[in-house]
Amino acid sequence: MHKGETMLKKTVHHCAFALALIAAPAFAAQWEPLPEKAPEPADNPTTAAKVELGKMLYFDPRFSKTGTVSCNSCHNLMEGGDDSRPVSFGVFGKKGGRNAPTVWNAAFHSVQFWDGRAPSLEEQAKGPVVNPVEMGMPTLEDAMKRVRQIPAYREYFVKAFGEDNPMTVDNAAKAVAAFERTLITPNSPYDRYVKGDKSAMTEQQVRGMNTFAQVGCTACHSGPAFNGPKLPEGKGFFQKFPVFDNELIKKYGLDEDLGRYEVTKKESDKHMFRVPTLRNVADTAPYFHNGAVPTLEEAVRIMAKSQLNRDLSDAQVADIVAFLNALTGEYPKIEMPRLPATPGTTLVTE
């Protein structure tokens, strides 16, 4: 097949996809509540001991190069699970290249990161530790050495994984992942509505839900987490962004990131991104992979124009935004853990 023919086929595919989105009727949507429990892999069942340990590791900054950056630094559980910045700051004040996605309900993604480079929460937990811009440790084993230098951590690893060599990188990642699988936010107004409580959503929110489906948003943002269909873990749901070029894309630089291509180097993966959840989206501004869009209203207009080639009216935007606010669920109470100390010494020398 010639290169020109390949590009023509891709163009036809994307145009057909966009036309299908435009034609999607409201009745095509299947409205599903968020499950009360997140799925878990067979090789890492969630236990109270793992969750307790994972929570401590999640909040502990001592495993970063400077001792200043923890998981919670960029994914703040006291708020929307992000850090409210366009991009995050890591060790030595370095800035990341992408907006920090929320960790709330991340357990419902089939792959992790914007580009889907981690097939599971366990693998995702390892990535930031050795990222030179984020936590900056030379290797995962270097980070684990710091954990082992804190004597009181051993009892928590033993409780979670038994006596036989419990303090490993893989077990630390399993503990963090187990904790993250408890970070779900069910019982939003939307959840109560689709379960039968027709007073849970306002008239405008219901109107926005129908508009959301009618204009085609549910073609990508479907399922209980509004992040696409349920797929086997490791097989991600990706979509091209943007599909249609326009002045808003240029204004916010939304076409500068090549997305999944940066991982695979496949031409077909250029500008492909994992579809993010819309759960609690009202709490996670700024928006998109570069965090360049400050408001939810603007984000809705951009998605309609760039993915569906539609110009929404002010009333349609207001209704969809009202509906998206109805996706804010109940955050579980998170108590800050007491981290094991290192009496009389420090692990951090930078």
Residue finishing a domain among 160, 180, 200: 180
If one counts every other C-beta atom within 10 angstroms of the C-beta of residue 334, the result is 14
Residue type, 275: V
161 is a domain residue = yes
Please tell me the predicted confidence (pLDDT) of residue 233: 67
Please check whether residues 211 and 110 belong to one and the same domain.
no
If one counts every other C-beta atom within 10 angstroms of the C-beta of residue 253, the result is 11
Q: What is the pLDDT of residues 48-90, one digit of tens each?
A: 999 999 999 999 999 999 999 999 999 999 999 999 999 999 9
* Residue 167, burial from CB neighbour count under 10 angstroms (0-12, 13-18, 19+): middle
Please check whether residues 223 and 107 belong to one and the same domain.
no
Structure tokens at 43: 């090789």
Please check whether residues 284 and 315 belong to one and the same domain.
yes
- Integer Cα distance of 329 and 108 in angstroms: 15
- Integer Cα distance of 327 and 277 in angstroms: 10
Please check whether residues 190 and 259 belong to one and the same domain.
yes
Report the CATH number at residue 57: 1.10.760.10
- Integer Cα distance of 155 and 1 in angstroms: 61
330 is a domain residue = no
Please check whether residues 189 and 316 belong to one and the same domain.
yes
Check pLDDT > 50 for residue 120: yes
Please check whether residues 239 and 208 belong to one and the same domain.
yes
- Integer Cα distance of 82 and 286 in angstroms: 10
337 is a domain residue = no
Please check whether residues 211 and 136 belong to one and the same domain.
no
Catalytic residue among 134, 256, 298, 330: 134
Q: What is the pLDDT of residues 209-252, one digit of tens each?
A: 999 999 999 999 999 999 999 887 678 999 999 999 999 999 99
163 is a domain residue = yes
Q: The domain containing residue 7 runs over which residues?
A: 3-36+185-325
- Say which residues have a Cβ less than 8 Å from residue 8's Cβ, sequence separation at least 6: none
Please tell me the predicted confidence (pLDDT) of residue 331: 97
CA distances from 150 to 60, 68, 164, 168, 345 (A): 12, 17, 18, 14, 10
DSSP 8-state assignment for residue 244: S
348 is a domain residue = no
Residues 318 and 293: beta-carbon distance below 8 Å: no
Please check whether residues 138 and 210 belong to one and the same domain.
no
Please check whether residues 101 and 229 belong to one and the same domain.
no
Q: What is the pLDDT of residues 88-111, one digit of tens each?
A: 999 999 999 999 999 999 999 989
What pairing do the DSSP bridges indicate for beta strands 272-274 and 238-240? antiparallel
Residues 294 and 85: beta-carbon distance below 8 Å: no
Please check whether residues 191 and 320 belong to one and the same domain.
yes
- Integer Cα distance of 218 and 222 in angstroms: 5
Residues in the chain: 350
Please check whether residues 23 and 53 belong to one and the same domain.
no
Please tell me the predicted confidence (pLDDT) of residue 230: 84
Please check whether residues 310 and 224 belong to one and the same domain.
yes
- 52 among known catalytic residues: no
Q: What is the pTM of this model?
A: 0.90
258 is a domain residue = yes
**Number of domains composing the chain:** 2
